[in-house]
Amino acid sequence: MEGPALPSPTAHTAHRPPSSSHVRLTGGPWLRWQRVNREVSLPLALEWLEKAGNLRNLRIAAGEAEGGYRGPVYMDSDVHKILESAAWELGHGPDAALSDFVGRTARLLERAQEEDGYLDSHYQVAEPDRRWSRLVDSHEMYCAGHLMQAAVAAHRAAADADGRLLTVARRFADHLADVFLAGPGPGLDGHPEVETALVELYRVTGERRYLELASAFVERRGRGLVGRHKHGSAHRQDHLPVREAPTLTGHAVRGLYLEAGIVDVAVETGDSALLAASAARWADMAATKTALTGGLGSRQVGEVFGERYELPPDLAYNETCASAASVQWSWRLLLATGDARYADLIERTVFNAFGAARSADGRRYYKGNPLQRRADHAEAVGDPRWRDEWFFSACCPPAVTRLVGSLEHYAVTVSEDAGCPTLHLQQFTPLTLSCPLAGGGLGLRVETGYPWDGAVRVTVTEAPPQPWALALRIPPWSARTSLEVDGERYPAERDERGYAVLRRDWRSGDTVTLRLDMAPRLTVPHPRVDAVRGCAAVERGPLVYCFEQVDQEAGTDVDDLALPPGVTFQEVEREDLDGAGRTVVLRADAVAVAGEHEAGLPYRRHGGPHAADRRRAAAVTAVPYFQWDNRGDGAMRVWMPLLSG
Amino acid sequence: MEGPALPSPTAHTAHRPPSSSHVRLTGGPWLRWQRVNREVSLPLALEWLEKAGNLRNLRIAAGEAEGGYRGPVYMDSDVHKILESAAWELGHGPDAALSDFVGRTARLLERAQEEDGYLDSHYQVAEPDRRWSRLVDSHEMYCAGHLMQAAVAAHRAAADADGRLLTVARRFADHLADVFLAGPGPGLDGHPEVETALVELYRVTGERRYLELASAFVERRGRGLVGRHKHGSAHRQDHLPVREAPTLTGHAVRGLYLEAGIVDVAVETGDSALLAASAARWADMAATKTALTGGLGSRQVGEVFGERYELPPDLAYNETCASAASVQWSWRLLLATGDARYADLIERTVFNAFGAARSADGRRYYKGNPLQRRADHAEAVGDPRWRDEWFFSACCPPAVTRLVGSLEHYAVTVSEDAGCPTLHLQQFTPLTLSCPLAGGGLGLRVETGYPWDGAVRVTVTEAPPQPWALALRIPPWSARTSLEVDGERYPAERDERGYAVLRRDWRSGDTVTLRLDMAPRLTVPHPRVDAVRGCAAVERGPLVYCFEQVDQEAGTDVDDLALPPGVTFQEVEREDLDGAGRTVVLRADAVAVAGEHEAGLPYRRHGGPHAADRRRAAAVTAVPYFQWDNRGDGAMRVWMPLLSG
């Protein structure tokens, strides 16, 4: 089964997903998330698509129901994203309800589709005269893109047996090409997404017009053609051509989807300058606009990237959709360049910002993913600080289900480094893999208690006849890494691309054991990150930890805690954290600080009479951020004040 | 001439404005602001009321112009607030253009007013059938309140000679009372403001129905009667009765106007429990939700108060209208209780958050007043970080002009402390005062270079026959204060109310010299103020200072600067800061820190290989925050990292 973003055979990429591979997760949190996805989240999503009216909108468009359109203009996209999610899950094994949903919905879409291929229930039902007339906000191509991605996923996961969904998507894509490639106007959509989708559809169908259209949309952007928006053209990434823009600006999800499309176009057309422009923005984003959890988009107003180093823990938006989009962009850059730093950020994002978006039981979602919540958050007004089952603007739940459903496809890449076929293990999760390599069939089994344990054991279960290399990503946080092949020590140094590469004659039964340094570590911010100055975060392996009120001593507020110099953390295994699964909890001796007010204000003279806050010892407990908020809605913080010597 | 918030003779207040007083500013920044107000800001505002369509809306309502209503529903309120501003300025002396505007506009309002007293051009012109039908958002009573306040101001400033404006306001107030006091439904407005306005109108007219209606509106609030709002009932302060709500929540300006009305009702009805509830919320706000500049309302989303101690310098909204509303509330609490801490906050707010809202030339306004702006702010999307001449929602410019126009009225109060008539000097600004006191006429002259110099010289120019006391507010930041009466030292200790009180037999020619400690001081935040942990701000007297890029050494970014332990500041006088007037600039030897990235992210391992940031010496310059952004749109910060020993 193939996964997302599979470059065409002629694409210019350093790495590729293993072709005709079969990857199956066999344990760990990612498998747990997939099980919850299949058993809880998707059945619930199918209910919501009825309750919220998404499917009814399509039935009205098909002439099979009465009444008016309900919801925001992009209601169709939720249907398409759940279709894509269902397709990936069907790739894991049969499920009658999901199959039935995909089949029924493909037929509904077929009936709702216009003669000319157009398909968008909002404009068909509510505003038939306004088709393609207000692209800055209409989301018509955004919805079209998600339809294409659903069809591509169903095709790759063999969940669209009769090809019906692919036909619907192609008819819409052909219509798009007729209108916007050959057409008179230089239209483009206010919400990027169709660019990457068109390239994916090109990859599946070989139809070059789709690639040409994607390329045209990418090149048209940044010239003020999208249309006026209250937050200005930068909000829609329409202020600077994509070859010139130095930094991610504006609506985070839009910007990230656009970048995924840019890389897709660049690798399929061999445009290295276009690729370099996107990679430069990625590096700028990583260095200046990325939360410790991988969360992106600091500002709630406009759901946008903020200024460089504007990374507030409490006010950050860090939209769930942005986390998922970031993974898609990083994955494409990883394939394009083979540089492990993209896999590093994928890991950070999936295990933290993305992992926390859904409750452990699979029922509730965050749209925003801040790194701090105060005790009185429920009294304040603004962006809600709790998860919900569904939303009026329900983009985030299906963003979770579709990425969770395809997580195994981000674990492995292959390359021909220095003429040697190489299999790169990008992510550490229990899995089995079989794929063609080096003129034969390769089989691997990965066993690990990761992210709780740092030992990753890879067993070659089937060895191809020719030599090949096994490359293991060495995460930069692992201070002491060791590597053994069949019991013998090997150097475990990260090469310039970020991997430890083992080139040898492999035989079935060979084992490699990678040991990553899972010692809890304190992380401090760059001095320009104003919002968490003087603080440290606790990390362990790929996991960012947080301090939840529920785990602290009675009478100690999370917001009074601080870490003393030289603090050390003890690791304590816990079998199940109220549904969040196995975990390693971290405990330390810290202090609680009772601050003083001066003149009734939260400020005081430096060195003045109240200069010494009252401190007392307090034992503290931290849990993985991705498991937070499964045990009540108390205060939480990732960044903890670090007292100086 | 009388000023804003003049309690009726039977009101229960500890202090009162001096009755029949004449206060005139004679120098200092406040007088400069009033001159700019009169010469630049108000003439510009009159142009904008034509350009934006506010006056045309009223002409359409009066049947004297054609066309449709323009702008947000509350366009009338801008007219009323400029009327109020013009009235206060006319109290300072004649001005033909302002007199003409007040007279013409009063007649226009008279013609636009309906038979039954209703007057709101939006509903009259655009939605005549929806009058009073959607109070949660209609702003009808908000506009009515500002009309009443304009009429009250014009009456007190003798700028409504024919009483026309007062008649229009009364007719509308009578209509309000008919509909909402005697009426069947328990309606109340989504935007408080009419409460304080009705009490003021009661004070001018003696009509008790206005007080009763204000009281009814105050008591109705907090019971979910306002109507549904997307941010919930707390956004409209409708979630808890005003006698129970523990903290300021929701839309900051709405909350603050409501509190002003609550105190007005409490003092006029002698309701000490109601007063205590408001005072408790003020103390909570001061201690946990107030920026160092006095700015209020941390969140841009919904323009709301955030969580306790959520005080981000960069993302703070700190709306200009909220600063003005805060002054109005604090002034009412000062009168009610006589406690100088309310005058302390008035001073902090006026000289900092409020003072910075308008450019030095009087032409441009901030709506939001953050304490930090980064170099790349112009690239980011969201709330604009620059001033503008006017706005689509133009609430803030007239909020500035009306408070600036009446600033002298906040300088002095009188009381009968312990049976002794006492004149309290609440604010330090050059002024002359004449008012009746202690059975005679009191005359005072205040001379000072404040806020640049700490010496405040008060000369008694006319002494009443009976003994009286002079009370001087001692700001809590003045570490070493001295006091001389006719050259003789007196104790300058702040009593439990915050004043140094001089009781003696005064004679004309007596002089008192107060010397406040103007040494620059470093201020640090309470440990719960997460967003500026590890930082210090520089203050001098009542002024918060800031570091603007334009004043720093070439090649040194403001965002790289830090203050070393034991830093001291040198004071340098500058005659004119590009139109911002005389100033004292502060210079210090600081350091510039070049941070390191690790693994391409803005985080690194504590104590890791890159643990030492590169530091170099850098001379730094700070200017008063209220004078910032008059010399280009570079970076700025109030809070500066403070390196530990």
Whether residues A533 and B533 touch (CB distance < 8 A) is answered with: yes
- Choose among B290, B524, B600: nearest Cβ to A606: B524
Whole-number Å distance between alpha carbons of B167 and A212: 70
pLDDT, position A491: 85
The fraction of chain B above a pLDDT of 90, given in percent, is 88
Nearest residue on chain B to A475, alpha-carbon basis:
B599
Find all residues with CB under 8 Å of B2, minimum gap 6, and list them. B17, B20, B21, B156, B157, B409
What is the tens place of the pLDDT at every residue in B44-57? 999 999 999 999 99
pLDDT, position B609: 64
Beta strand ranges found along A395-464 (DSSP E): 412-417, 420-425, 431-437, 440-448, 455-462
Q: Give the highest mean pLDDT range of B18-22, B225-229, B331-335.
A: B331-335
B115 is catalytic: no
Overall fold of domain B26-372+382-409? Glycosyltransferase (1.50.10)
Q: Which of A57, A594, A28 lies closest to A350, judged by CA?
A: A28
Whole-number Å distance between alpha carbons of A190 and A233: 10
Mean pLDDT for all residues in chain B: 95
pLDDT, position B575: 87
Find all residues with CB under 8 Å of B486, minimum gap 6, and list them. B510, B511
Q: Cis peptide leading into B609, omega within 30 of 0?
A: no
Write down the residue that tokens 């001593």 correspond to: A553
**Residue B568 is encoded by which pair of tokens?**
């001291």
Residue A380 touches partner B, C-beta closer than 8 Å? yes
User: Which of 446-475 (A) contact B at CB < 8 A?
Assistant: none
Whether residues A314 and B310 touch (CB distance < 8 A) is answered with: yes
pLDDT, position B386: 82
pLDDT, position A609: 64
Whether residues B607 and A529 touch (CB distance < 8 A) is answered with: no
Note the residue count of chain B: 645
pLDDT, position B19: 78
Residue B378 touches partner A, C-beta closer than 8 Å? no
**Model-level pTM?**
0.96
Compute the nearest-CA separation of B628 from chain A (Å): 20
Whether the CB-CB separation of A103 and A45 falls below 8 Å is answered with: no
Band the pLDDT of B596: cuts 50, 70, 90.
Answer: confident
Note the residue count of chain A: 645
Tell me the average pLDDT across B215-244: 92
Going by their DSSP bridges, the two strands B420-425 and B468-473 should be labelled as: parallel
- Choose among B249, B283, B605: nearest Cβ to A600: B283
Q: Which residues of A touch B312 (CB under 8 A)?
A: 312, 314-315, 531
Whether the CB-CB separation of B447 and B431 falls below 8 Å is answered with: no
Enumerate the active-site residues of A. 303, 395
pLDDT, position A33: 97
Compute the nearest-CA separation of A377 from chain B (Å): 6
pLDDT of B645 over the 80 cut: no
Tell me the average pLDDT across B403-414: 97
Compute the nearest-CA separation of B128 from chain A (Å): 28
Tell me the average pLDDT across B158-177: 96
User: How far, CA to CA in Å, does A608 sit from each of A611, A613, B178, B300, B340?
Assistant: 5, 11, 57, 33, 21
Instruction: Calculate ∠ Cα B204-B209-B215, nearest 5°.
Output: 95
pLDDT of B613 over the 80 cut: no
What is the tens place of the pLDDT at every residue in A121-145? 999 999 999 999 999 999 999 999 9
Tell me the average pLDDT across B137-154: 98
Q: Which of B603, B604, B610, B636 to mutate to test the interface with A (most CBs of A within 10 A)?
A: B603
pLDDT, position A400: 98
Residue A509 touches partner B, C-beta closer than 8 Å? no
Whole-number Å distance between alpha carbons of B142 and B393: 14
3-state DSSP assignment of residue A233: helix
Whether the CB-CB separation of B634 and B375 falls below 8 Å is answered with: yes
3-state DSSP assignment of residue B124: helix
User: How deeply is B208 buried, as exposed, middle or buried, from its count of CB atoms within 10 A (0-12, 13-18, 19+)?
Assistant: exposed
pLDDT, position B383: 67
With a cut of 70, list the residues of chain A below it in pLDDT. Answer: 183-185, 383-384, 609-612, 645
Nearest residue on chain B to A372, alpha-carbon basis:
B530
Whole-number Å distance between alpha carbons of B79 and B142: 12
Q: How many helices (H) and strands (E) does chain A have?
A: 16, 23
CATH number listed for the domain at residues A32-409: 1.50.10
**Residue B594 is encoded by which pair of tokens?**
């070049």
Helix (H) / strand (E) containing A212: helix A208-220
Residue B526 touches partner A, C-beta closer than 8 Å? yes
Q: Which residues of A touch B530 (CB under 8 A)?
A: 313-314, 372, 531-532, 535, 559, 639
Whether the CB-CB separation of B434 and B17 falls below 8 Å is answered with: no
B93, amino acid identity:
G
Residue A607 touches partner B, C-beta closer than 8 Å? yes
Domain ranges in chain B?
A: 26-372+382-409, 411-515, 521-641
B303 is catalytic: yes
pLDDT, position A406: 97
User: How far, CA to CA in Å, does A140 sit from each of A130, A132, A191, A212, A604?
Assistant: 11, 7, 9, 19, 55
Whether the CB-CB separation of A140 and A146 falls below 8 Å is answered with: no
pLDDT of B616 over the 70 cut: yes
Whether residues A533 and B641 touch (CB distance < 8 A) is answered with: yes
Residue B535 touches partner A, C-beta closer than 8 Å? yes
Top-confidence residue, B490 or B483: B483
pLDDT of B184 over the 70 cut: no
Q: Which residues of A touch B645 (CB under 8 A)?
A: 644
Residue A490 touches partner B, C-beta closer than 8 Å? no
Name the active-site residue from B143, B321, B395, B535. B395
| ipTM for this prediction | 0.94
Domain made up of B411-515: CATH architecture: Sandwich (2.60)
Band the pLDDT of B610: cuts 50, 70, 90.
Answer: low
